[in-house]
Structure 1
Amino acid sequence: MTVRSLLSILADGRFHSGSELGESLGISRSAIWKHIRRLEEAGIEIYSVKGRGYRIPGGLDLLDLGQMRAGLREDIKSKVGTCSLELTTESTNELAMQACQQGNCHGSLYIAEQQTAGRGRRGREWVSPFARNLYFSLVWRFEQGIGALEGLSLVVGLSLVKAIESLGIQGVKVKWPNDLLFDEKKLAGILVEVNGEASGQCQVVIGVGLNVDMPDQGVDKIDQPWVDLKSITNAPAERNKILAGVLNELVSGLEQFEDQGFAPMIADWQSYNAHQGQEVALQVGKGTVTGVCKGVDPSGALLLETENGREIFFGGEVSLRRTL
């Protein structure tokens, strides 16, 4: 709690002396110095000036569960249950999966300011700078088993797009099966993991990473073009407001999916399909299949018009085919 309290004071971006911080937190100046080192190790830039104290340049937009909940719609608040907010964790999906193994945690939300081992698809690292983006996992229980989850990741992506549009941002697209793109650059990723039985009740962990305000440093590990909300809008991004908006749309989308499945949402999803009507290359195992993207079927599978006719694919990674 002391580290969180220290961050809350420094979040205003102004200088605070060691004695001021120690008095506010009830600890020694040497203890303050040790906590400052811990924050720097987490990748937070802190200016230290003799005679003036410590300062985080530009301040921090820290997540706050109270502010986030205040932004939830009244019909959604009761459906988002236990909320856990960590400063740093290996992976919010790991926290959620561990909780699932302990019992029913339907509606539980796990959020972190930073992930040290965040994962994307196929085990890729999800770069997670401290207090700049959104990293969270929501647990949702389904009664009809794993077989009823076809199309779920597409529903999550569609919900995220609608949440971003509610912020006044147009032009975000979905890339099958679970990425969000803007101007062909990655804005968000989704990782869905299942804990349960094939035919009985199961709990699904829905992990989301959304780029909000990426720093200039430390992003060299990202191996593909990316974009964040701040660069799209050229305005400060309020992460608590964005998180609440995403949860409003996500919970609504999950409830509709529970009742009706993915099929009624196909037309909506197609309207945001980043590759609709384009020639794409689909990596399947060690091979590549090329064809024209014709959208998805009611199960969420990808439809490609290839030289063999229309084919259906349930896995793989889509990438635009380069034209010569």
Structure 2
Amino acid sequence: MNKRTERLVQVIELLADGEFHSGEAIGAVTGVTRASVNQDIKAIQALGLDVFKVVGKGYRLAMPIELLDVDDILKEFAQRGQKPLKLHVERIVSSTNDVLRSYLKQGPLEAGETLVAEAQTDGRGRRGKRWYSPYASSLYLSMYWPLEQGMAAAMGLSIVAGYAVADAARQLGIADVRLKWPNDVLVKGKKLSGILIELEGQAVDNAHAIIGIGVNINLPTMVEEYVDQPWTDLQTELGQRVPRNLWVATLLATLSDALEEFKQQGLSPFVQRWLAYDNLHDRAVTLLMGQTTIHGYAKGIAEDGALLVEVEGEVKRYHAGEVSLRYDAN
């Protein structure tokens, strides 16, 4: 982080308690003038945090925020009987996938090594779409996973990750969570989470997967300016505040278990589990392949993670890299 970003993080950590802090007090901590504090507050608001000012009292957040904490997350993670996990927590990054990839270039990473961040300035989803990433409002997570048999071993990895997110949400109390092939987690037809798997390495030799996951926890209303599809978040669905560190630990435990099972048994154990969450099963879908449009009915997923679609009485397979999927959201 540059010095300006470090200062913004310092101010956010000061305001996290939800109490008033005067411009003078903030300036004394950060070493800048009150005019600079005012500019910093505007930059913090642009990150998605609701900061307001009251004359004579100073600045405060509309609500206190629970910042991500390595020790708290790992304590909860260990209580779930998990093996030790190497975890990095950052405040502001370009994207968690990019930063974890930079770690990989510096030297070997441990299987399951994970980076979580409070905000991303350049987050992205599938097909390069921007993933709006406000501060302390969502989970931005990337996990490293080695592929010792090459990239072929990555077939179905997004299926496993999607199942893990859905199952973790169910554990939290969201009963009607659904999966939309290949990488969306929905509640009542609204997007809760997205997954981006990025691969590096050789097709038949050692390769690496970076599993990027974004989960909406408590999005600010300003998100409507940036998101062009129906969305929801954990707090809305549960009707109460979500302990962010507890949620991260729950998801990490579920994802770690799923990946270990995938490593040992492949995708087959997850095919039927996917059906329990499948938002498309037996629904009319439209597949776009370049200039070609295909209409059919979704019939679950194959043993390699491909989407099964009945087209004119014949069930065919389609892979995520080949098609763009449309369906009736109602």
TM-score normalised by L of structure 2: 0.90
1:218 matched to 2:223? The reply is yes
Matches within 5 A, 1:206-285: 206-285=211-290
What is the Cα deviation at residue 156 of structure 1?
0.3
Q: Aligned partners of 1:189, 1:160: CA distance in 2, in Å?
A: 9
Matches within 5 A, 1:151-166: 151-166=156-171
Q: Aligned partners of 1:65, 1:96: CA distance in 2, in Å?
A: 16
Q: Which one of the candidate residues 7, 14, 36 is aligned to 2:12?
A: 7
Q: Aligned partners of 1:82, 1:298: CA distance in 2, in Å?
A: 32
1:100–1:203 CA contact under 8 A, matched in 2: no
2:300–2:307 CA contact under 8 A, matched in 1: yes
Aligned residue number for residue 99 of structure 1: 103
Aligned residue number for residue 318 of structure 1: 325
Note the alpha carbon deviations across 1:223-273, whole angstroms, 9 max, x for none. 111111111111111211111110000011110101110012211111111
Q: Aligned partners of 1:321, 1:197: CA distance in 2, in Å?
A: 38
1:72 matched to 2:72? The reply is no
Note the alpha carbon deviations across 1:6-27, whole angstroms, 9 max, x for none. 322211212122344455x373
Q: Aligned partners of 1:26, 1:128: CA distance in 2, in Å?
A: 25
1:286 matched to 2:291? The reply is yes
2:11–2:30 CA contact under 8 A, matched in 1: no
Note the alpha carbon deviations across 1:35-70, whole angstroms, 9 max, x for none. 434423434332223321111112223222222112
Note the alpha carbon deviations across 1:182-215, whole angstroms, 9 max, x for none. 1111110000001111112212100001111111
1:86 matched to 2:90? The reply is yes
* Equivalent AA in structure 2 for residue 317 of structure 1: S
Aligned residue number for residue 126 of structure 1: 131
1:97–1:195 CA contact under 8 A, matched in 2: no
1:198 matched to 2:203? The reply is yes
SS at match of 1:305: strand
In structure 2, stretches of 5+ residues that fail to align are 1-5
SS at match of 1:134: strand
Q: Aligned partners of 2:329, 2:213: CA distance in 1, in Å?
A: 29
Aligned residue number for residue 185 of structure 1: 190
1:100–1:195 CA contact under 8 A, matched in 2: no
Q: Aligned partners of 1:72, 1:304: CA distance in 2, in Å?
A: 39
Of stretches 312-321 and 165-174 in structure 1, the one that deviates more from structure 2 is 312-321
Q: Aligned partners of 2:229, 2:27: CA distance in 1, in Å?
A: 43
Of stretches 25-34 and 160-169 in structure 1, the one that deviates more from structure 2 is 25-34
Q: Aligned partners of 2:220, 2:83: CA distance in 1, in Å?
A: 32
2:10–2:30 CA contact under 8 A, matched in 1: no
Q: Would the alpha carbon gap of residues 195 and 295 (structure 1) be closer, same or farther in structure 2, given more than 3 Å must change?
A: same
* CA RMSD across the alignment: 2.1
Aligned residue number for residue 144 of structure 2: 139
Aligned length: 320
Aligned residue number for residue 60 of structure 2: 55
Give every structure 1 segment of 4 or more consecutive aligned residues whose post-TM-superposition deviation is greater than 6 Å. none
1:127–1:219 CA contact under 8 A, matched in 2: no
In structure 1, stretches of 5+ residues that fail to align are none
